[in-house]
């Protein structure tokens, strides 16, 4: 049975009882709410915690506190902000094992996957120095243009104000920290709404931020329904920017009610893996299996369809079947050898199965898996998937390997681009010119050669086009999204300090 066990260090974030009741962080204090919802672990469908649902008044209090306290973080010397966040990183590392266990319990992640997420969060925090380099600004002499001669400008970046971060269930710790880190480094106050399905591990991280000296009121953490709590936050005039990671439908809803706020949206994906006739098929199969079923396929950058040219199709399917055996499926607490655990809920498992059964009815062949119990969906292999199947076009978010036969590279490009999504894709080939042709032609924000897509610590920037979102995330790029550019122009003519334009050489 999944059970939460927290050390004394985190005693303030919840009330002890048969079922621990977790609080929210408002105005620097851990606060109770009247309403709660049950957190059900997908591991055994047992209630492991009660999650607070903030009221409208508490939302207003959190927003008011962020607005009133944003000067605390803005007025700190940048080096102090950097050193404070580094101190939090070191403290988080000390509590890594405890956070990993909680993350496994609430999300159903396998040990290796949960540990990988916390490691990625720690590495993202270590790379904070790279973020800070993006807010240096620049000097512009005006004498390069006739109308600005005898003037000069400083172009600087300033905090945008209060940043709202809304995080998804698949990477609740990493994604939340990837929003908090650049926002605070830039001098913004932050309001974070972690996912309702698995917010606990990030609540632990918030306590670490608080205990290591983050100014009171500069980080608010609220939990509750996205439709109610989320909408109140999104519509608020106290919010200056929204950073959202989640589904395309919710992203479109945010855009419709946010008004003129700056929005960064990292939405759904339908990554295509293109396998050409000269590919290293063993490498391609290994990477496509990993990209399809890691984290039970619950990733926006997951390989969601594999487009294989007909010349190597049969051999590739054999390789896929071989590498699928490398993954062990089951309860994450049954041992570290488990690499694929349950999906986030029974509802999610049922949706995945509907897509699989639809594909089979339309002519796809089920080679492996295709069964589920509760939230446990077996790693599944579908081949000969027709293009009219739902799973060939819509985001799967489950451990399903979807293989589609195409005629050649041109056909693969056409099929890959015939999608409303455009987040990630990848291509497997040993031919440089084919690499260039396909990578240039694929309509996606990121294209990877000879590996499955993986955003990792976001050292390389990523972000989608079409229905996959807008804006770029990554080390040094996220911080630009969370600042505003200001141009300060100086007239040097009164003291004759600028260079005069004579016009004598004009044609």
Query: What is the torsional sign of CA 318, 321, 324, 328?
Result: negative
Please tell me the predicted confidence (pLDDT) of residue 247. Answer: 96
Task: Please list the residues that pair with 403 across neighbouring strands.
Answer: 306
Cα 159 versus chain centre, distance: 22
Please tell me the predicted confidence (pLDDT) of residue 344. Answer: 97
Distance CA 9, CA 7 (A): 5
**pLDDT exceeds 90 at position 336:** yes
Nearest to 301 by CA among 212, 396, 229: 396
Distance CA 483, CA 490 (A): 22
**Token representation of residue 189:** 């106050």
Strands 14-15 and 21-22: antiparallel
Please tell me the predicted confidence (pLDDT) of residue 132. Answer: 78
Average pLDDT, the chain: 96
Strands 380-383 and 424-428: unpaired
Catalytic sites, residue numbers: 266, 300
Mean pLDDT of 63-69: 98
**pLDDT exceeds 90 at position 37:** yes
Percent of the chain with pLDDT strictly greater than 70: 100
Per domain, the residue ranges of the chain are 8-267+471-485, 271-449
Nearest to 162 by CA among 244, 228, 74: 74
Confidence of residue 158 (pLDDT cuts 50, 70, 90): very high
Cα 219 versus chain centre, distance: 19
Do 481 and 243 form a contact (C-beta atoms < 8 A)? yes
Determine the Cα angle at 147 with ends 141 and 148, to 5°. Answer: 20
Terminal C-alpha separation, the chain: 84
Mean pLDDT of 440-449: 98
Nearest to 371 by CA among 363, 362, 360, 384: 360
Residues 6+ apart with CB under 8 A from 43: 2, 104, 105, 108, 331, 332, 333, 341, 342
Confidence of residue 1 (pLDDT cuts 50, 70, 90): low
Write out the DSSP string of 316-360. HHHHHHHHHTT--BS-GGG-TT--B---S-HHHHHHHHHHHHHHH
Dump pLDDT digits (tens) for 102-156: 999 999 999 999 999 999 999 999 998 777 777 888 999 999 999 999 999 999 9
What phi and psi values does residue 239 have, to the nearest 5 degrees?
A: -90, 130
Q: Among the CATH numbers 3.90.950.20, 3.40.309.10, 3.40.50.10540, 3.60.15.10, which is that of 271-449?
A: 3.40.309.10
Packed helices 96-107 and 111-126: angle between N→C axes, nearest 10 degrees: 130
Mean pLDDT of 177-197: 97
Strands 365-368 and 21-22: unpaired
Alpha carbon distances (Å) from 163 to 178, 189, 377: 12, 6, 37
**pLDDT exceeds 90 at position 228:** no
Please tell me the predicted confidence (pLDDT) of residue 226. Answer: 80
Burial tier of 264 (Cβ tally within 10 Å: 0-12, 13-18, 19+): buried
Mean pLDDT of 59-70: 98
- For residues 339 and 130, which has the higher predicted lDDT (pLDDT)? 339
Class of domain 8-267+471-485: alpha beta
Nearest to 210 by CA among 8, 14, 28: 28
Query: What is the torsional sign of CA 314, 318, 320, 324?
Result: positive
Strands 372-373 and 376-377: antiparallel
Please tell me the predicted confidence (pLDDT) of residue 129. Answer: 76
**pLDDT exceeds 90 at position 298:** yes
Alpha carbon distances (Å) from 98 to 6, 52, 205, 210, 333: 7, 21, 11, 18, 14
Dump pLDDT digits (tens) for 83-95: 999 999 999 999 9
């Amino acid at each position: 049975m999944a059970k939460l066990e927290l050390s004394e260090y985190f005693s303030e974030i919840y009330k002890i009882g048969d079922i621990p009741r977790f609080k929210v962080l408002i105005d620097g204090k851990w606060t109770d709410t009247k309403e709660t919802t049950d957190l059900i672990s997908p591991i055994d469908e047992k209630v492991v915690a009660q999650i607070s649902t903030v009221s409208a008044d508490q939302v207003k209090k959190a927003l008011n506190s962020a607005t009133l306290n944003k000067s605390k973080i803005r007025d700190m010397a940048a080096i102090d902000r950097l050193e404070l966040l580094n101190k939090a990183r070191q403290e988080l590392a000390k509590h890594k094992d405890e956070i990993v266990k909680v993350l496994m319990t609430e999300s159903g992640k396998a040990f290796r996957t949960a540990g990988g997420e916390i490691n990625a969060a720690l590495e993202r925090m270590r790379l904070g120095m790279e973020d800070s380099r993006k807010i240096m600004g620049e000097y512009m002499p005006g004498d390069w243009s006739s109308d600005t001669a005898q003037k000069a400008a400083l172009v600087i970046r300033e905090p945008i104000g209060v940043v709202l971060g809304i995080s998804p269930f698949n990477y609740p710790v990493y994604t939340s920290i990837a929003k908090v880190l650049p926002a605070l480094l830039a001098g913004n106050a932050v309001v974070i709404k972690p996912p309702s399905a698995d917010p606990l591990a990030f609540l632990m991280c918030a306590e670490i931020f608080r205990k290591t000296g983050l100014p009171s009121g500069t980080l608010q953490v609220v939990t509750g329904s996205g439709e109610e709590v989320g909408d109140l936050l999104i519509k608020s005039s106290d919010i200056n920017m929204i950073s959202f990671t989640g589904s395309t439908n919710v992203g479109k809803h945010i855009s419709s009610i946010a008004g003129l706020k700056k929005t960064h949206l990292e939405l759904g994906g339908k990554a295509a893996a293109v396998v050409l006739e000269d590919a290293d098929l063993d490498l391609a199969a290994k990477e496509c299996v990993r990209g399809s079923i890691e984290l039970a396929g619950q990733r926006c950058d997951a390989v969601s369809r594999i487009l294989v040219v007909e010349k190597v199709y049969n051999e590739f399917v054999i390789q896929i079947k071989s590498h699928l055996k490398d993954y062990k499926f089951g309860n994450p607490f049954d041992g570290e050898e488990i690499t694929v655990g349950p999906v986030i809920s029974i509802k999610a498992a049922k949706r995945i199965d509907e897509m699989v059964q639809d594909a089979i009815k339309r002519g796809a062949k089920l080679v492996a898996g295709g069964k589920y119990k509760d939230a446990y969906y077996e790693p599944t292999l579908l081949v000969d998937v027709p293009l009219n199947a739902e799973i060939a076009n819509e985001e799967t978010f489950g451990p399903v390997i979807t293989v589609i036969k195409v005629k050649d590279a041109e056909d693969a490009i056409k099929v890959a681009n015939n999608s409303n999504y455009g987040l990630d894709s990848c291509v497997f080939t040993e031919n440089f010119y084919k690499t260039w042709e396909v990578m240039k032609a694929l309509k996606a924000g990121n294209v990877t050669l000879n590996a499955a897509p993986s955003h990792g610590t976001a050292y390389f920037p990523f972000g989608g086009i079409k229905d996959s979102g807008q804006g770029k995330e990554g080390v040094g790029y996220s911080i630009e999204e969370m600042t505003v550019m200001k141009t300060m122009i100086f007239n040097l003519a009164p003291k004759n300090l600028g260079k005069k334009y004579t016009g004598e050489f004009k044609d």
